[in-house]
Amino acid sequence: MGTITVTIDGQQVEVDQQATLLDAANKVDIEIPTLCYHPDLTLHGSCRICVVEDAESGNLLASCATPVTDGMKIKTITDKVIEARKMNLELLLSDHPNDCMTCEADGACDLQELVYEYDVSEPSFGLMEEGKFEVKNENPFIEFDSNKCILCGKCVRVDNEVQCSGAIDFIERGFSSKVAVPFDQDLGADFSSCVFCGQCVEMCPTGALTYKPAKGQGREYELEKVETTCPYCGVGCQIELQVKDNKIVQVGSIYDEDHPNPVGETCVKGRFAYDFVDHPERLTKPLIKKDGEFEEVSWDEALDYTAQKLGKIKEEDGGEAIAGLTSARCSNEENYIFQKFMRGALGTNSVDHCARL
Amino acid sequence: MDQSIYRSHILICGGTGCVSSGCKEVRSSLEEELAERDLVNEIKVIETGCHGFCEKGPLMIVYPEGVFYCKVQPEDMEEVVEEHILKGKVVERLLYTDPTTGENIPSYQEIDFYKKQQRTALINCGYIDPEEIKEYIATGGYEAIGKALTEMTPQEVIDEVKESGLRGRGGGGFPTGLKWQFASDAEGDKKYVICNADEGDPGAFMDRSILEGDPHVLIEGMILAAYAVGADEGYVYVRAEYPLAIKRLRVALEQAEENGLLGENLFGTDFSFKLRIKEGAGAFVCGEETALMASIEGERGMPRPRPPFPAEKGLWGKPTNINNVETYANVPAIIKEGAEAYKQVGTEGSTGTKVFALTGKINNTGLAEVPMGITMREIIYDIGGGINEGKEFKAVQIGGPSGGCLPEDKLDLTIDYDSLLEVGAMMGSGGLVVMDEDTCMVDVARFFLDFTQSESCGKCTPCRIGTKQMLDILERITVGEGQEGDIELLERLAENIKSTSLCGLGQTAPNPVLSTLRYFRDEYEAHIYEQTCPAGACEELLGAYVIDGEACVGCTVCTEACPVDAIAGEAKEEHLIDEDACIACGACVDKCPVDAITQ
């Protein structure tokens, strides 16, 4: 495929023929703000924040959606561009609650950031006075406040294109448009095909979609980010634990094409089932039942006890008398060692795995 | 087909307008009368498509004399059969009466409404039976496709259309031949042609009339386009609110298939073409081509960014040619008669004719097809018969919600695509809404914004929220709550919506506001700064009535006229209106013999 050259803010850039103006600008590290654009999702072109000016015609072009043409000259910062971005931000603000103080997304909100950057301190059309829509939060995982939604459609696209749940889409028209599950119910409703993978929450640029368990647990800037492998199955999804005071507040996505989950995919378990980590009933030491009661013992004692018991069974009844059950939450390597131990050391082929049940 | 020879044909208009005014009952009554007199084998009754003069419907024409009866009722049929059919005497009372001369005009060609019209797209509408393919063929139908397939290459067809100067009749005015060339040049193993019959402008119904009155002309135009661009499959996207159009189109498709005009190897050539109907659910935005295609694909009707244009990547990602009904309806004539003949009509930059839908405060509402380059004055006064009830003309809204309002000094503007753009309006689909002195232009802008706001798909920020903000400001102004700075804010907002919206709906949505601001700014100012509505239309701004004591003769007529007893006063003495009780209905003003009451 051929390349073509365009000029962005005076810099010549050579890009692929299929590239957009945004791609070309990114190539030379010229930053253009976006709200609805995501490199892993199909093009939507709805927020109209990424507009730039065509130097020849003076027309405003949405840079995420405009393919480059040879010899094009683009300016990314002109009075006209700033005015248009600012007014579109003012419009978004007029249809958005003014509750940053208590909003879960404070500090992690793209809209808030742009409003600050473009100094929209006195929006021409005011701010939303009262909510238009009912907040949906009847499920244990995700709170959906359509009043904060800017209809960028990222959640709809990730749901339909990446997760393929087909759970949410746009409903209604004009100013009443919103994202919803069928019949405008809760994400957890009977008709909803939502699987609570949480990818919509990850994509949401505002506080419209938030994690319920994380509510009030910490601001984005207070959270320590720990990249790890999800412990639940053998896929090995890479996830980001967001931790405050050594406690997991929420699980975020990582977008990396080299990962087994390149678009930050994970399932409901990887996303939400982490409360066992700090659960008071979690077993952290081995127990042996003595005189009918469980008693905490040392690892050495527990291992000796187990080896002795297994050895005795093998001696008296043969290895075939023993069966082993392992867990889907172990890694492939751990499961390999387990079956090797069962076959080689104990002499049994009776090995199974919880995921088969 | 019935091969009998009839001594007379009676055409009854079966367009949607005449169906609403009762043509079905007229037809049944006529058929009963004919049966009673055993005339069924002598007189043929044909239900046609729209004849255009909806104001006077139900319409009926008796051939061979060509006598035009209007506002016919079922009970008139006995007289028509008895007098006209049997005795050969024209029923004078059912003829059209010229409003200025008071004369009855028997032949419709002599009626002002029809005199200045020149028909290409509507040529068969109201003249043939739309459910009978042989009637279309008898008028020269399907000759063009025969000629194209057997004598012309696809490129020659495109060249002929280019040469004709035909431009898109759906609103944009893009050169049709060039569009076809793009689709033809696009690489692809599969191509589509689509007809946009999702006519949504308030008051526009020319596409519906063509579908109802002459569906085969559309089919033929689409076959020509498919042959020209190399498509083998097509869709007519028509709104489900047009049941009659869909029914007739369906019949036409079946007949065309039966007659080998659709399907495999047409006219013995390698060219095959399949055409199907896709019913839309009535969203205005689905008239936008990318939203229309999304809708055919089964997605929500939301526009997609362009480029890529449909010619390159259209329906299901394949090269697609999309035109509207009226555009396709012009093509057979171009191929049959040649581009040279076609160009003789119209102006240099806008050739041919355009169908306009006349509505509003005008005497003759209906459909009129006129040569491009005609003036607005000719359409409104000569064809439309001027303003209702002798009121003053104030403005004409052209181009639907995307168009603009033009004032009286633009009446002599010659109408073509480019002249309209220059004055801040656009051709659009050709809807003309005529407004009189009682119309408030701020309220008109509010009406159109209300429409575009509720029809916005909600995808892009400026259209979804910007039109709502404009509407809020306009509503505020019409109830007397306008503020200083509102006009400037409207202008800034309009500019932003125009230049940053994703699709044509948003990009043109501010036009009604911009054009009324351009030509009627003083009305906005009067609402905001003086709290008055110069047209007297905005109810909240109508002040209480007062009686001029000097002029009042104490006749007591007003006291009797007042429905809320708000006027007091003895006979022969000055009267007074209680402002708190007055409901500003204006009944007293109309009755006062000495014009002593003012607002």
DSSP A254-265: -B-TTSSSTB--
* Same domain assignment for residues B491 and B398: no
pLDDT for A1: 64
User: Could you tell me the residue ranges of all domains in chain A?
Assistant: 3-77, 122-278, 284-313, 318-357
Residue B272 is which amino acid? S
**A178-213, pLDDT tens digit by residue?**
999 999 999 999 999 999 999 999 999 999 999 999
Is pLDDT above 80 for B514? yes
Distance separating alpha carbons of residues A60 and A80, to the nearest angstrom: 8
- Section B286-315 average pLDDT: 95
Contact B290, B460 (CB under 8 A): no
Number of neighbours of residue A134 by Cβ within 10 angstroms: 12
Q: What is the pLDDT of residue B85?
A: 93
Task: Give B9's strand partners.
Answer: B44, B63
Question: H helices then E strands: how many in chain B?
Answer: 24, 19
Instruction: Tell me, rounded to whole angstroms, the distance of Cα B411 from its chain centroid.
Output: 19
> Could you list the residue range(s) of the whole structural domain that residue B406 is in?
353-436
| CA angle at A42 for the pair A228 and A164, rounded to the nearest 5° | 60
Q: Which residues of B touch A (CB under 8 A)?
A: 283, 285, 300, 302, 304-305, 307-308, 453-462, 464-469, 489, 492-493, 496, 499-502
B462: nearest Cα among A150, A307, A268: A150
- Give the per-residue pLDDT at B100: 81
The answer to whether B552 and B596 are in contact (CB under 8 A) is yes
Q: Are B428 and B396 in contact (CB under 8 A)?
A: no
Return the pLDDT at B376: 95
B480 Rama sector, left if φ>0, alpha if ψ -120 to 50, beta otherwise:
left
- Asked if B188 and B318 touch (Cβ cutoff 8 Å), the reply is yes
Nearest-CA distance B476 → chain A (Å): 13
Position B173 in a domain: yes
Do B306 and B172 share a structural domain?
yes
B190 found inside a domain: yes
| Nearest CB to B465; choose among A60, A92, A170 | A92
Distance from the B64 Cα atom to the nearest Cα atom in chain A, whole angstroms: 52
CA distance B525 to chain A (A): 20
Considering only CA atoms, give the Rg of chain A.
Answer: 27
For residue B379, being part of any structural domain is answered with: yes
Residue with tokens 């498919």: B226
A37 vs A41: CA distance, rounded Å: 8
- A-chain residues near B461 (CB < 8 A): 46-49, 88, 91-92, 150-151
The percentage of residues in chain B with a pLDDT greater than 70, rounded to a whole number, is 99
How far is the CA of B330 from the CAs of A88, A207, B140, B165, B343, in angstroms?
A: 42, 53, 14, 11, 12
Alpha helix (H) residue ranges in A40-126: 79-94, 110-117
- CA atoms of A175 and B70, how far apart (whole Å): 45
Q: Is residue B536 part of a domain?
A: no
Final residue belonging to a domain, choices B311, B343, B375: B343
Q: Is the pLDDT of residue B576 over 70?
A: yes
Q: Best residue in B464, B475, B487, B502 to probe A by mutation, most A CBs within 10 Å?
A: B464
Q: Is the domain of B359 the same as that of B499?
A: no
pLDDT per position as a tens digit, A8-47: 999 999 999 999 999 999 999 999 999 999 999 999 999 9
For strand A293-296 and strand A287-290, is the pairing parallel, antiparallel, or unpaired? antiparallel
For residue B300, give the chain A residue with the closest CA.
Answer: A170
pLDDT at B315: 97
Asked if A3-77 and A122-278 have one fold, the answer is no
Of residues A87, A146, A143, A144, the one with CA closest to residue A114: A87
Of A46, A49, A95, the CB nearest to B502: A46
Residue B337 shares a structural domain with residue B228 = yes
CATH no. for residue B553?
3.30.70.20
Query: Which residue among A45, A65, A175 places its CB closest to the CB of B465?
Result: A175
Q: What is the distance between the alpha carbons of residues A312 and B36, in angstroms, rounded to a whole number?
A: 112
Query: What is the percentage of chain A residues whose pLDDT exceeds 90?
Result: 90
- B198: nearest Cα among B226, B166, B240, B169: B240
Cβ count within 10 A of residue A265: 22
Q: Are B273 and B227 in contact (CB under 8 A)?
A: yes
Q: Are B190 and B234 in contact (CB under 8 A)?
A: no
Strands B192-197 and B320-324: parallel
Single out the residue in B287, B321, B343 at which a domain terminates: B343
- Strand A351-353 and strand B8-13: the pairing is unpaired
Residue B3 lies in a domain: no
Residue B1 has pLDDT above 70, yes or no: no
pLDDT in tens, B183-206: 999 999 999 999 999 998 888 899
> What integer is the mean pLDDT of B18-30?
94
Model confidence at B3, in pLDDT bands (50, 70, 90)?
Answer: low
Q: In one letter, which amino acid is B413?
A: L
Per the model's pLDDT, the better-predicted residue between B94 and B580 turns out to be: B94
Supply the pLDDT for residue A239.
97
Task: Give dist(CA A339, CA A306) in Å, integer.
Answer: 17
Three-state DSSP state, B577 = strand
- Which pLDDT value is given to residue B322? 97
Task: Give me the residues paired with residue A67 across strands.
Answer: A20
Q: For B395, phi and psi rounded to 5 degrees?
A: -160, 160
Say whether pLDDT at B178 is over 70. Answer: yes
- Which of B497, B529, B561 marks a domain boundary? B529
All residues of chain A having their beta carbon less than 8 Å from the beta carbon of residue B307 are 66-67
H-run or E-run covering B82: none
The residue in chain A having the minimum alpha-carbon distance to the alpha carbon of residue B492 is A87
Same domain assignment for residues B484 and B425: no
Give the pTM: 0.89
Evaluate whether residue B473 is within a structural domain: yes
The pairing of strands A324-326 and A351-353 is: parallel
Residues B428 and B449 in one domain: no
Q: How far apart are CA A240 and CA A235, in angstroms?
A: 16
Residue A357, pLDDT score: 55
B500: chain A residues, CB-CB within 8 Å = 48, 51, 60, 62, 84, 88
Do residues A353 and A326 touch, judged by C-beta distance below 8 A? Answer: yes
- Any idea how long chain A is? 357
Pull the structure tokens for residue A107: 């500090």
Q: Are residues B474 and B367 in the same domain?
A: no
In Å, what is the CA distance from B419 to each residue of B215, B226, B410, B415, B583?
31, 32, 10, 6, 45
Give chain B's mean pLDDT: 93
Question: Are B54 and B18 contacting, i.e. CB atoms less than 8 angstroms apart?
Answer: yes
pLDDT of residue A233: 81
CB atoms within 10 A of CB B244: 17
Report the CATH architecture of A122-278: 2-Layer Sandwich (3.30)
Nearest by CB: A124 against B304, B454, B489: B489
**Long-range contacts from B135-143, C-beta under 8 angstroms, 24+ separation:** B136/B214, B136/B216, B136/B217, B140/B336, B141/B216, B141/B217, B141/B220, B141/B332, B142/B216, B142/B220, B142/B261, B143/B332, B143/B336
Whether B46 and B102 map to the same domain: the answer is yes
The pLDDT of residue B397 is 93
Residue A247 predicted with pLDDT over 90: yes
Query: For residue B127, is it within any domain?
Result: no
3-state secondary structure of A59: coil
HEC sequence for B416-482: CHHHHHHCCCCCCCCEEEEEECCCCHHHHHHHHHHHHHHHCCCCCHHHHHHHHHHHHHHHHHHCCCC
Size of interface A-B (CB pairs under 8 A): 99
- pLDDT of B396 higher than 90: yes
Are the beta carbons of A170 and B302 separated by less than 8 Å? Answer: yes
A chain contacts of residue B453, beta-carbon cutoff 8 Å: 174-175
Per-position b or e across A141-159, b if 16+ CB within 10 A of its CB: bbbbbbbbbbbbbbbbbbb
- Within this chain, do residues B179 and B305 fall inside the same structural domain, yes or no? yes
User: Rounded mean pLDDT of A240-252?
Assistant: 96
Could you identify the residue written with the tokens 């127990």? A287
Lowest mean pLDDT among A69-78, A124-133, B238-247, B575-584: B575-584
Of B300, B302, B460, the CB nearest to A48: B460
Tell me which residue of B85, B97, B84, B25 sits closest to B56, measured CA to CA: B97
| A3-77: CATH number | 3.10.20.740
Q: Give residue-wise pLDDT tens across range B88-147.
A: 999 999 999 988 888 999 998 889 899 889 999 999 998 999 999 999 999 999 999 999
With contact defined as beta carbons under 8 Å apart, do A236 and A273 qualify? no
The answer to whether B446 and B490 are in contact (CB under 8 A) is no
Q: What is the dihedral of CA B533, B534, B537, B541, to 10 degrees?
A: 20
Contact check, Cβ <8 Å, B465/A47: no
CA dihedral A329, A331, A336, A342 (to 10 degrees): -40
A169 vs B294: CA distance, rounded Å: 14
Q: What pLDDT was estimated at residue B549?
A: 84
Taking CB atoms and an 8 Å limit, are A84 and B499 in contact across chains?
yes
Residue A48 confidence class, pLDDT cut points 50, 70, 90: very high
Instruction: Give the H or E element holding residue A3.
Output: strand A3-8
Alpha-carbon distance B541 to nearest alpha carbon in chain A (angstroms) = 24
Pair B465, A94: CB distance under 8 Å: yes
Helix axes B215-229, B206-213, angle to 10 degrees: 100
Chain A residues within 8 A of B308 when measuring between CB atoms: 67
Q: What percent of chain A has pLDDT over 70?
A: 99
> What is the tally of structural domains in chain B?
5
Dump the DSSP string for B154-194: HHHHHHHHHHHT-B-TTTT--BHHHHHHHHHHS--S--EEE
**Domain assignment of residue B348, yes or no:** no
pLDDT at B2: 55
Q: Which of B180, B155, B112 is nearest to B386 (CA)?
A: B112
Q: Quick one: B192 and B324 in the same domain?
A: yes
Q: Check pLDDT > 90 for residue B402.
A: no
